[in-house]
Amino acid sequence: MLKRKQVLLENWMIDYLKEITKTYEISFSESIRLLVSLQIVEIAKATNKNFKTKDFIKKISNVTEDYAKKDQCPEKLHNFISEVYFEGRKAAEIRTKQLKTLKKAK
């Protein structure tokens, strides 16, 4: 479920996100969700050695290279984005449980 929130971003962040939206034909909101989800996965991997997931950093380079070619397969890009959202949500749930456990231990 999506909720509307107001977020303040630096100009350079907006410029970068606009470039992503133009290049990959995704919405501004979708570009933000994608980058946030990727970061959540990376934080979960860094803070929980038991959290195993695909290496999205390597995979994103393959997907973007394929998209940059004239083949431009939007389905492949959107499948990748869906995978990142799924793993991001899973990582957020694991990290939230981990933080609650840490708070209880104090």
pLDDT tens-digit readout, 62-82: 777 777 776 667 788 888 899
For residue 60, tell me if it sits in a domain: yes
Question: Helix 56-68 and helix 28-47: axis angle, to 10°?
Answer: 150
For residue 3, tell me if it sits in a domain: no
Residue 95 belongs to domain spanning: 13-105
pTM equals 0.81
Supply angle C-alpha 44, 50, 52, rounded to 5.
Answer: 70
Among 72, 35, 73, which residue's Cα sits nearest to residue 56?
A: 35
With a cut of 90, say whether residue 103 has pLDDT above it.
no
pLDDT confidence tier of residue 48, bands split at 50, 70 and 90: confident
For residue 63, tell me if it sits in a domain: yes
For residue 1, tell me if it sits in a domain: no
Among 44, 38, 48, which residue's Cα sits nearest to residue 81?
A: 38
For residue 51, tell me if it sits in a domain: yes
How many domains does the structure of the chain reveal?
1
The answer to whether residues 73 and 25 touch, using CB atoms and an 8 Å cutoff, is: no
